[in-house]
């Protein structure tokens, strides 16, 4: 991207990016919110 001038972000900043940690709060499908729970949060 930098070599082809698709971005103005310095290469140093791009190289510093890391992938997200695999350790998240959601471990299994049952930990996910249901559509009803999501709807209830914004009502």
Q: Residue 27: what pLDDT?
A: 73
Q: Quote the DSSP letter at residue 42.
A: T
- Show pLDDT as tens, one digit a residue, over the chain (43 residues): 677 778 888 889 988 999 877 766 767 888 888 999 999 998 8
Q: Quote the DSSP letter at residue 13.
A: H
Q: Residue 37: what pLDDT?
A: 94
Q: Residue 7: what pLDDT?
A: 82
Closest CA to 42 of 22, 32, 33, 3: 33
The domain locations on the chain are 11-41
Say if residues 7 and 1 touch (Cβ distance below 8 Å): yes
Q: Residue 43: what pLDDT?
A: 81
Say if residues 21 and 33 touch (Cβ distance below 8 Å): no
């Amino acid at each position: 991207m930098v070599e082809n001038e698709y971005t103005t972000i310095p290469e140093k900043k791009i190289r510093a990016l890391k992938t997200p940690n695999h350790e998240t709060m959601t471990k299994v499908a049952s930990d996910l919110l249901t559509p009803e729970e999501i709807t209830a949060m914004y009502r």
